């Protein structure tokens, strides 16, 4: 393993571990391997130097939120120069489903690694595995719905006309320290007429809500900035019928009585959690941040 590959692997794993709790992210190996992996990563996260950190190739698995269904990952020594090995395992699905899901994983890996995984940006490498995890989770949910319910034709009310669409998103970043980025977050929200909250530091959190097209524009602008890692953890939308467009701000839940659009900055998670609860969006926040309600009071 080259020093460059090793550095990228440790950076990626440290970020992945921060995205999943202990019940969702599991190392796969013997006790010595587990201890070496954990010790090496602890050292890396404290000194950000891979010199002398020689361990066997990493193996881990991520729990899909549907019983004992796992997404398994093996990172070869030369990763990310070469593709990772990924496969689905389960004790609850049929052999046909198991085969289809693993074929889907193979197809996605081939698509994303075509031409060399090493040519992807560090952002894509960081979340390539996570994106695959969410894709297969969605695939499982769709199969479960298809196998347990009878599809119905959509009911169309011809009297209703779509007036506008509201969208709200929660964005996670590895960190948010740059004053220039923080100014952009606030300035662009004002320009696009959207409301929201943000929290600088480690990690950075940005939550905004507004007209769908404006929110999508906002996302594009944010992603055009340089980030170590950025991803959308949650996105919700709703269509409002038979109302004039200028009334859309009445349906912005996180507006909370504010007159002018914009992003309010808070110093800690607990403040944002409190605002989301006040807006009736507590479940969205807790689910996206993988926080149990019992531990919500201890957020910092």
DSSP codes joined into one string, 203-215: SEEEEEEEEHHHH
Q: Which residues, listed in sequence order, are joined to residue 166 by a DSSP beta bridge?
A: 211, 238
What per-residue confidence (pLDDT) applies to 23? 77
Domain assignment present for 220: yes
What per-residue confidence (pLDDT) applies to 153? 43
Q: Are residues 34 and 143 in the same domain?
A: yes
Domain assignment present for 153: no
Q: What is the mean pLDDT of each run of 10 residues along the chain (300 residues)?
A: 78 77 81 85 79 78 75 82 81 79 79 52 42 62 61 47 79 92 93 92 92 89 88 85 69 78 89 88 82 46
Inter-residue contact 189 to 265 (CB < 8 Å)? no
End of a domain among 148, 173, 208? Answer: 148
Return the CATH number at 75.
Answer: 3.10.110.10
Q: Are residues 94 and 192 in the same domain?
A: no
Q: Are residues 182 and 121 in the same domain?
A: no
Q: Report how many domains make up the chain.
A: 2
- Give exposure, 262-277, as e/b (b: 16+ Cβ within 10 Å): bbbbbeebeebbbbbe
Domain assignment present for 233: yes
- Cα separation of 292 and 161, whole Å? 39
Q: 195-199 and 204-211 as β-strands: parallel, antiparallel, unpaired?
A: antiparallel
Q: Are residues 232 and 288 in the same domain?
A: yes
Domain assignment present for 255: yes
Q: Are residues 177 and 282 in the same domain?
A: yes
Q: Are residues 22 and 66 in the same domain?
A: yes
Q: Are residues 87 and 186 in the same domain?
A: no
Q: Are residues 196 and 79 in the same domain?
A: no
Domain assignment present for 33: yes
- Specify the DSSP element, H or E, that contains 4: helix 3-19
Q: Which residues contact 231 (CB under 8 A, 6 or more apart)?
A: 127, 130, 171, 172
Q: Are residues 24 and 135 in the same domain?
A: yes
Q: Which residues contact 129 (CB under 8 A, 6 or more apart)?
A: 12, 16, 62, 73, 84, 86
Return the CATH number at 201.
Answer: 3.30.70.100
- Cα separation of 185 and 181, whole Å? 6
Q: Are residues 259 and 172 in the same domain?
A: yes
Inter-residue contact 207 to 170 (CB < 8 Å)? yes
Q: Are residues 14 and 129 in the same domain?
A: yes
End of a domain among 123, 148, 173? Answer: 148
CA 261 to chain centre: 25
Domain assignment present for 154: no
Domain assignment present for 114: yes
- Cα separation of 133 and 120, whole Å? 18
Domain assignment present for 159: no
What per-residue confidence (pLDDT) applies to 124? 37
End of a domain among 148, 181, 203? Answer: 148
Q: Are residues 141 and 171 in the same domain?
A: no
What per-residue confidence (pLDDT) applies to 298? 41
Q: What is the pTM of this model?
A: 0.48
- In this structure, the number of other CB atoms found within 10 A of the CB of residue 29 comes to 16
- Residue-number span of the structural domain to which 174 is assigned: 165-298
Inter-residue contact 194 to 208 (CB < 8 Å)? yes
What per-residue confidence (pLDDT) applies to 134? 57
- Cα separation of 268 and 243, whole Å? 37
- Residue 45: asked if its preceding bond is cis (omega within 30°), the reply is no
What per-residue confidence (pLDDT) applies to 286? 84
């Amino acid at each position: 393993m080259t020093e460059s590959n090793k550095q990228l692997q440790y950076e990626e794993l440290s970020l992945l571990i921060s995205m999943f709790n202990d019940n969702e992210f599991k190392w796969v190996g013997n006790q010595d391997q587990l201890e070496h992996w954990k010790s090496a990563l602890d050292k890396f996260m404290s000194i950000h130097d891979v010199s002398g950190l020689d361990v066997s190739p990493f193996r881990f698995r991520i729990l899909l939120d549907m019983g004992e269904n796992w997404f398994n990952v093996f990172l070869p020594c030369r990763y990310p120069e070469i593709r990772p090995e990924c496969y689905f395992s389960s004790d609850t699905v049929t052999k046909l489903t198991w085969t289809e899901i693993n074929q889907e994983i193979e197809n996605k890996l081939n698509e994303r690694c075509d031409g060399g995984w090493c040519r992807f940006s560090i952002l894509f490498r960081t979340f390539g595995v996570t994106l695959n995890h969410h894709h297969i989770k969605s695939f499982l949910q769709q199969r479960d719905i298809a196998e347990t319910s009878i599809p119905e034709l959509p009911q169309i009310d011809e009297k209703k006309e779509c007036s506008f669409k509201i969208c709200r998103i929660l964005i996670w970043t590895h960190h948010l320290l740059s004053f220039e980025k923080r100014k952009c977050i606030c300035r662009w929200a004002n320009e696009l007429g959207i409301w929201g909250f943000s929290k600088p530091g480690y990690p950075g959190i940005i939550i905004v809500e507004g007209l769908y097209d404006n929110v999508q524009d906002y996302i594009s602008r944010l992603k055009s900035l340089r980030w170590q890692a950025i991803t959308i953890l949650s996105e919700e939308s709703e269509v409002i019928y038979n109302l004039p467009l200028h009334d859309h701000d009445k349906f912005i839940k996180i507006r909370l009585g504010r007159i002018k659009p914009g992003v309010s900055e808070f110093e800690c998670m607990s403040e944002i959690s409190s605002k989301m609860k006040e807006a009736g969006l507590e479940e969205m926040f807790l689910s996206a941040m993988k926080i149990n309600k019992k531990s919500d009071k201890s957020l910092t």
